[in-house]
């Protein structure tokens, strides 16, 4: 007997007897008090199966909730594994904090920053899981509302009105299932976005490692050139000392000869020639020192060193960021020790013109390809943004994103 056609109800149904009404009320009461028992009874009673169309969909919803809970537990385990990985990396950072292995420590620090970004992504995934819990709770509350609505119809004798109410609830449950499918699609899209971000972070890490290797090779080449220049300077100094010693010995010998000889015009002429020769040697030594300084400066044109500024140094607002902030691609300020290096308790080193570092003098800025201040610290064309203002803007953006 079909309940989906009003003609069947008007032609094929007879007024229910008192026994049928009692049977209908007993089935509805059993479903309200014990849905599991009602589900068992519906297997043997076709009328109860027709009055209880929500049981299969409730079972599907429960299976979906169980799947979501399993995913939440899997994400929690992933979070625990990531925390263990972060702990191990921090131990490596502490082990590599030796100044002799500063380059490795800087690379580890950049990786630590990348791990912190992944940690942030996991935190967002947990927030999504919390929203999933809220959605599941709302679905359970909706099912409870459906049960309460069904309780209202337990004393209804009109089967046609009960069928209309059941169809309405069936449509509402269909809408809930559609919302659940939309939520599943959104979760899949979020996972794909997190995977894309992780790939981008891995690519950035590879690029940073390549840049660090290039910088290390450049530093080794500059150190080799510096060693050659220092060796040449030492050789010239030895030659100058030897020439000065020979000139002094020659003068002493002439003076000793003058004490034992009578002054004559020939001796005075030799003495005068010796003094002239000494003057020429001194001029040659001065010229050699000047040329040596020019050679050293020409060798250092275009070179820069990483140095820690003195506490009394005043940096301009256009100064380039420190090495640590550059390696992590983060904001920096113009203090002697920037805020991030002070918080992380690491040396704050900046780029300085090699002519200012080696000569301990002001760079002449002749043929110097770098833009730097009068003290040799490299700077940009525009002023650096304020550190705390950038942090405030970032926090406001995060709040707006969550809202």
140 part of a folded domain:
yes
Residue 212 lies in a domain: yes
For residue 387, pLDDT beyond 60: no
Could you give the number of structural domains in the chain?
Answer: 2
- Please give the pLDDT value at position 88: 78
Closest CA to 61 of 141, 148, 153: 141
Residue 337's pLDDT is 93
Considering the domain boundaries, does residue 191 fall inside one?
yes
Out of 174, 200, 218, pick the residue that ends a domain: 218
Greatest mean pLDDT range, 217-226, 303-312, 384-393: 303-312
CA dihedral 257, 259, 261, 264 (to 10 degrees): 100
Q: Confirm whether 361 is domain-assigned.
A: yes
Residue 356: band (very low, low, confident or very high) from pLDDT cuts 50, 70, 90? confident
pLDDT higher than threshold 60 for residue 204:
yes
Percent of the chain scored above 70 by pLDDT? 65
Domain of residue 101: give its range: 6-218
Phi and psi for 352 in degrees, rounded to 5? -135, 145
Same domain, 327 and 203: no
Q: Which of 57, 54, 39, 122 shows the shortest CA–CA distance to 85?
A: 122
In the predicted structure, residue 352 carries a pLDDT above the cut 80: yes
User: Which structure tokens are listed for 77?
Assistant: 């385990």
Q: Write down the pLDDT at residue 135.
A: 74
Q: What is the pLDDT of residue 125?
A: 76
**183 and 319 share a domain?**
no
Task: Give residue 364's pLDDT.
Answer: 66
Report the pLDDT value the prediction gives residue 341, as an integer from 0 to 100: 92
What pLDDT, on a 0 to 100 scale, did the predictor assign at position 149? 66
CB distance 157 to 137 below 8 Å: no
Helix or strand run (H / E) with residue 304: strand 304-307
Q: Lowest-pLDDT range, 69-73, 243-247, 335-339?
A: 69-73
Those residues whose C-beta lies under 8 Å from the C-beta of residue 163, and which sit 6 or more positions away, are: 3, 4
Q: Is there a domain that residue 285 lies in? A: no
pLDDT in tens, 162-171: 667 777 777 8
User: Does residue 295 belong to any structural domain of this protein?
Assistant: no
At 331 the pLDDT is 83
Average pLDDT (14-22) is 46
Read off the pLDDT of residues 234-266 as tens digits, 9 standing for 90 and up: 888 888 888 888 878 888 887 777 666 655 667
- The H-or-E segment that residue 18 falls in is helix 18-33
Reported pTM: 0.29
For residue 344, is it within any domain?
yes
Q: Is pLDDT above 50 for 212?
A: yes
Residue 12 has pLDDT above 50, yes or no: no
Find out whether 287 and 330 touch, Cβ atoms under 8 Å.
Answer: no
In a domain, 247, yes or no: no
The tens digit of pLDDT for each residue in 172-190 reads 777 877 777 777 777 777 7
For the chain, give the percent of residues with pLDDT over 90: 4
| Domain end position, chosen among 166, 191, 218 | 218
**311 plus 208 within the same structural domain:** no
Query: Is a pLDDT exceeding 50 seen at residue 43?
Result: no
Would you give the distance in Å from CA 241 to the centre of its chain? 57
Give the DSSP letter string of 66-78. HHHHHHHHHHHHH
Which pLDDT score, from 0 to 100, does residue 347 have?
93
Average pLDDT over residues 28-42: 47
**Partners of 352 in beta bridges:** 305, 377
Q: To which residue do tokens 């001796």 refer?
A: 267
Question: Does residue 326 share a domain with residue 210?
Answer: no
Looking at 175, 203, 218, which one is the last position of a domain? 218
Q: What is the pLDDT of residues 124-160, one digit of tens each?
A: 777 777 777 777 777 777 777 777 766 665 555 555 6
54 and 203 assigned to the same domain: yes
Using one digit for the tens of pLDDT, what is the confidence trace for 24-33? 545 444 444 4
Is residue 343 located within the same domain as residue 210? no
- Of 74-88, 103-117, 185-199, the range with the lowest mean pLDDT is 103-117
Enter the tokens of residue 216. Answer: 């290390």
Across the chain, mean pLDDT equals: 72
pLDDT at 344 over 80: yes
Instruction: Report the SS3 class of residue 275.
Output: helix
- The answer on pLDDT for 87 being more than 50 is yes
Residue 378 phi, psi (nearest 5): -65, 145
Residue in the block written with tokens 């046609």: 160
């Amino acid at each position: 007997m079909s309940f989906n056609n009003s003609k069947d109800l008007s032609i094929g149904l007879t007024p229910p007897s008192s026994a049928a009404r009692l049977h209908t009320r007993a089935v509805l009461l059993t479903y309200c008090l014990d849905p599991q028992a009602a589900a068992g009874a519906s297997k043997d009673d076709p009328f109860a199966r027709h009055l209880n169309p929500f049981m299969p969909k409730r079972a599907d919803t429960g299976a979906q909730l169980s799947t979501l809970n399993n995913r939440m537990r899997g994400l929690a385990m992933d979070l625990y594994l990531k925390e263990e990985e972060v702990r191990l990396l921090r131990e490596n950072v502490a082990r590599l904090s030796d100044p002799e292995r500063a380059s490795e420590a800087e690379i580890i620090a950049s990786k630590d920053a990348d791990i912190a970004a992944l940690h942030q992504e996991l935190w967002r995934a947990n927030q999504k899981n919390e929203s999933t819990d809220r959605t599941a709770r709302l679905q359970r509350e909706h099912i409870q509302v459906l049960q309460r609505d069904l309780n209202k119809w337990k004393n209804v004798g009109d089967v046609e009105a009960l069928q209309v109410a059941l169809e309405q609830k069936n449509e509402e449950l269909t809408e809930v299932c559609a919302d659940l499918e939309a939520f599943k699609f959104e979760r899949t899209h979020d996972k794909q976005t997190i995977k894309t971000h992780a790939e981008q972070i891995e690519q950035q890490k590879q690029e940073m490692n390549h840049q660090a290797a290039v910088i290390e090779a450049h530093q080794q080449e500059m150190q080799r050139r510096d060693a050659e220049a220092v060796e040449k300077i030492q050789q010239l100094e030895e030659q100058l000392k030897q020439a000065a010693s020979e000139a002094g010995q020659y003068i002493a010998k002439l003076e000793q000869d003058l004490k034992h000889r009578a002054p004559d015009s020939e001796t005075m002429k030799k003495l005068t020639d010796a003094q002239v020769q000494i003057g020429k040697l001194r001029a040659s030594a001065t010229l050699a020192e000047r040329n040596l300084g020019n050679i050293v400066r020409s060798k250092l044109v275009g070179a820069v060193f990483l140095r820690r500024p003195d506490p009394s140094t005043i940096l301009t607002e256009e100064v380039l960021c420190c090495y640590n902030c550059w390696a992590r691609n983060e904001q920096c300020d113009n203090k002697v020790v920037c805020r991030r290096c002070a918080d992380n308790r690491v040396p704050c080193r900046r780029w300085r013109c090699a002519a200012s570092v080696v000569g301990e003098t002001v760079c002449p800025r002749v043929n110097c390809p770098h833009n730097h201040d009068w003290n040799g610290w490299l700077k940009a064309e525009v002023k650096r943004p304020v550190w705390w203002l950038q942090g405030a803007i970032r926090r406001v953006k995060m709040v707006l994103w969550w809202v």
